[in-house]
Amino acid sequence: MKRRSVLRLSVLAIFAFSGISLANAQKSIVVSSTTSTEQSGLFKHLLPVFEKKTGIQVKVVAVGTGQALDIGRRGDADVVFVHDKVAEEKFVAEGFAPNRIEVMYNDFVLIGPKADPAKINGGKDIQAALKKIADSKSAFVSRGDKSGTHAAELRYWKAAGVDVSATQPWYKETGSGMGPALNTASGMNGYILSDRATWLTFKNRGDLAILVQGDPRLFNQYGVMLVSPRKHSHVKHVEGQAFIDWIISKEGQATIASYQVGGEQLFFPNAK
């Protein structure tokens, strides 16, 4: 009888252990985010800290901001972490998220060939620089992917009074993420707008360099949103909210601030 009791307890212990393991395995979320947070290496820096603290595994789907928001609209992500304030506010207004929380910022920079055929090097006015590029018909590479960077680029062209389209031979749309678009610009020796973080981690620079920076209009804010369980009941709102709470916490913000490449900080936390 004693042997049977011991065997029964052992079997129950195995099932109990398996149940706990299964429960832990199910603690996971999907975060749809912009390519800059992924390609800059930020998530590789952040997620191990979060996962160790909470036991929640995070799968990142890194696409352009427009696509990341669409993934959230379909309910295929639990959290959206992007950088296009206008589009994010629309997402909230449509009821796909209860609110939008600011997390961090960096800036955009205008990259170009060191030969600089448009003569913009050293300038701090993004609109004036783009006008010179258009007037000189110098090669310009656009992501053309409805990302946050692409949306910002189009705003700058409009403010500069320049109507751009893929029909213009000097203006090339890649429909790709920041890294591949930078590769195209490097191959063409063309100008391109990039977020600073991806540029700093980009290896295939060729003859390219930062030519225009420091314009306040190049400010680049990132926001995070929980996909509304009212729209999609299957959303893991408890785990998703845990991620958001951590990313805006003192520890999460300090972890963001500690990420550097070549001694240079890539993102600056500013959660309120």
In a domain, 14, yes or no: no
Q: Dihedrals φ, ψ of 207, to 5°?
A: -100, 15
Q: If 0-12 CB within 10 Å is exposed, 13-18 middle and 19+ buried, where does residue 266 land? A: buried
- Lowest-confidence region among 4-13, 39-48, 75-84: 4-13
Same domain, 112 and 197: yes
Each residue's pLDDT tens digit, 93-130: 999 999 999 999 999 999 999 999 999 999 999 999 99
Q: Which of 218, 237, 252 is the last residue of a domain?
A: 218
Same domain, 79 and 60: yes
Into how many domains does the chain fold?
Answer: 2
Tell me the CATH number at 78. 3.40.190.10
Each residue's pLDDT tens digit, 14-35: 434 444 344 444 699 999 999 9
Parallel, antiparallel, or unpaired: how do β-strands 57-63 and 101-113 relate?
A: unpaired
CA 145-151-152 angle, to 5 degrees, is: 130
Residue 174's domain comprises 107-218
Residue 230 has pLDDT above 60, yes or no: yes
Token representation of residue 122: 């050293």
Residue 140 has pLDDT above 80, yes or no: yes
Distance CA 178, CA 204 (A): 12
Same domain, 32 and 74: yes
Distance CA 41, CA 146 (A): 22
CA 15-18-24 angle, to 5 degrees, is: 145
Query: What percent of the chain stands above pLDDT 70?
Result: 90
Give me the residues paired with residue 21 across strands: none
Mean pLDDT within 43-67: 96
Task: Provide the whole-model pTM.
Answer: 0.85
Residue 10 has pLDDT above 50, yes or no: no
In a domain, 237, yes or no: yes
CA contacts within 13 A on the Cβ side of 133: 35
Mean pLDDT within 233-237: 96
Give the model's confidence band at 58: pLDDT under 50 very low, under 70 low, under 90 confident, else very high: very high
